[in-house]
Amino acid sequence: MPYRAVVARAFARTRVARRIVLLFVVCAVLPIASLALVSYTSISAQLRERAGERLYRGSKASGLALMQRLQSLERELQVEARSHVMGGTPALAALPESPHFTSIIVVPADAAVLPGDAPLSFSRTSRMS
């Protein structure tokens, strides 16, 4: 065996050599592991925050779109109700030009319709004109 191999093998068996190797591993791995842990927690927090912001913006946009759509339908329904009341058409009338409503029931303001009363029932096929 060459002299260097014998010296290297003998050095690896000594206490000092084991301590040097252990110290090297600790000095190399410990900072990298701690940096990885700090980076992981920081990036996880940032990703959660961004996901929350994205969710907030998306739900707000959906809510506003829904509200706008409902207001548009309410305006359309009010226009149709006014035109039927002013035109003297019956209480149940078909709405052929409206893609959103198939029929409309106009209840006068002085009518005593209370929550819990039996609902008005009209068949879809019987339309008054």
Tell me the per-residue pLDDT of 3-20, one tens digit each, with 9 for 90 and over.
Answer: 666 666 766 778 888 888
The pLDDT of residue 25: 85
- For 112, half-sphere exposure in the C-beta direction (CA atoms, 13 angstrom radius) is 0
pLDDT digits (tens, 9 = 90+) for 58-110: 999 999 999 999 999 888 888 777 776 666 555 555 555 667 777 666 666 67
> Does this model's pTM top 0.85?
no
- Produce one character per residue of 102-118: b if its CB has 16 or more CB atoms within 10 Å, e if not: eebeeeeeeeeeeeeee
The pLDDT of residue 129: 40
What are the structural domain ranges in the chain?
Answer: 3-89
The pLDDT of residue 128: 44
User: Is the model more confident about 21 or about 111?
Assistant: 21
What region does 76 belong to: left with phi over 0, alpha with psi -120 to 50, or beta?
A: alpha
Tell me how far apart the alpha carbons of residues 109 and 49 are, in angstroms, rounded to a whole number: 51
pLDDT digits (tens, 9 = 90+) for 46-57: 999 999 999 999
The pLDDT of residue 16: 84
**What are the structure tokens assigned to 73, written together?**
């339908």
AA identity, residue 51:
A
AA identity, residue 31:
P
The pLDDT of residue 105: 67
AA identity, residue 53:
E
What DSSP element (H or E) covers 17?
Answer: helix 15-87
Tell me how far apart the alpha carbons of residues 97 and 76 are, in angstroms, rounded to a whole number: 11
